Structure 1
Amino acid sequence: MSQNPETIASQVGEASKSPGHPPLDQWQPELSGDMDLRVTRDGQWIYKGEPLAREAIVRLFSTILRLEDDGEFYLVTPVEKWRIQVDDAPLLAHSLTVEAGGAEQVIKLTTNVGEVLEIGEDHPLDVGRYPGTDEPRPIIHVRHGVTARLVTAAFYDLAEHVVEREGWAGPELGVFSNGNFYKIG
């Protein structure tokens, strides 16, 4: 078993020949151990104290990362499972774009690994708070428990599309995307 990022990448490449994301939900290997890999709050992937040199490895790792019921993040291949450390959300979301308007609008964000996500059923938006502060923590769900935190500029761009509507408990602030309303604040 190897903690080497290149070895892990080749395992995934061999097991995932079809287009799209690797079939992570089908891979259930035993825990291989802890990998000296940490994703910082600013989105850097640090392996043994140094940023991962190849962006292609970071992109691949983002597709084999999952959050499990124990609250820990794991890189998963068909034969290995490595626990890693994540300071906040493992991905960042930026470059917000909006198509259409009103209840019909579609909001899209691009992650720091180049994936474009539409806020909607598959990628819901959640604006929580950091524990112990009033600082908002806007995230979009990616897959397998992995989230992307909206960078400040994207959150400000999102705020430009906030509307008020009447909810069951009174007025609510939020945004529409793909026919759904996502509360903010």
Structure 2
Amino acid sequence: MSLEKISAQLSTYSESGEQKIPPVELWDPPYCGEIDIEIKADGSWYYNGTVFKRIALVKLLASVLKKEGDDYFLVTPVEKIKIRVEDAPFVLTQWQWHEQEPQTMVVSTHLDNQFLLNSEHPLEIAEDGSLYVTVRHNLTAKVHRNVYYQWVDLAKEQQTANGVELVFESAGLLFSLGSIA
């Protein structure tokens, strides 16, 4: 399986040139093996040990990324190829308050995926204290350290069932940054 063949099978751009996310969760093609693609913890993509330089290709491949159990795959309607992901496939790098809904955050990944921080895209704390946000289906973005510190600045201490936690609100929900010792 080559990158050129995968790219040729994908037509994920609308007439306006805006990327659409294909319904990969509905596709169940046969498994075709592995390809030497790895997504590093910083969100960079590597093929055969060399970093991808074409961001458009990375965005295209990310649009057909699927997670099954602990494994990640690039899927087309006819093929499923396993790749490696070091941590999370996306990195949450920016946030801002929504223009029409002031108490709702719009968050962005390093690949320009934008969505609201809400019940569909919740913030979760891993056992090691790392923060992750669901991007789509079961794909997550690790919260970048800069975003974390910005959220700490706006968070408030609140007594919860887990003790005193740093929390902030988005879309009418409270999100925790963790317990305060």
TM category (shorter chain) comes to: 0.7 to 0.9
- Percent of residue pairs bearing the same amino acid type: 29
What displacement does 1:108 show?
2.1
Question: 1:156 pairs with 146, 149, 152, which one?
Answer: 149
Per the normalisation by structure 1, the TM-score is 0.84
More moved, 26-35 vs 170-179: 170-179
Q: Is the 8 A contact 2:14 2:20 kept in 1?
A: no
Q: Secondary structure at the match of 2:11?
A: helix
Q: What whole-Å deviation, never above 9, does each CA across 1:5-47 have from its counterpart, x for those lacking one?
A: 2321221217x76973101122101111011000011111000
What displacement does 1:167 show?
3.2
Q: 5+ unaligned residues in a row in structure 1: which ranges?
A: 131-135
Q: Secondary structure at the match of 2:61?
A: helix
Task: Show the 5 A alignment for 1:1-185.
Answer: 2=1, 4-13=2-11, 20-69=20-69, 71-99=70-98, 105-130=103-128, 136-168=129-161, 171-185=164-178
User: Larger relative contact order (C-alpha < 8 A, sep ≥ 6)?
Assistant: 1
Q: Is the 8 A contact 1:35 1:84 kept in 2?
A: yes
What displacement does 1:63 show?
1.4
Distance of 2:148 and 2:22 partners within structure 1: 30
What displacement does 1:79 show?
0.6
Q: 5+ unaligned residues in a row in structure 2: which ranges?
A: none
Distance of 1:27 and 1:123 partners within structure 2: 22
Q: 1:171 to 1:49 in 2, by over 3 A?
A: closer
Q: Is the 8 A contact 1:65 1:144 kept in 2?
A: no
Q: 1:115 to 1:167 in 2, by over 3 A?
A: same
Give the paired residue count.
174
Q: 1:76 to 1:7 in 2, by over 3 A?
A: same
What displacement does 1:181 show?
1.1
What displacement does 1:53 show?
2.8
Distance of 1:170 and 1:154 partners within structure 2: 24
Distance of 2:34 and 2:68 partners within structure 1: 15
Q: What whole-Å deviation, never above 9, does each CA across 1:32-71 have from its counterpart, x for those lacking one?
A: 10110000111110001111231111111111111112x1
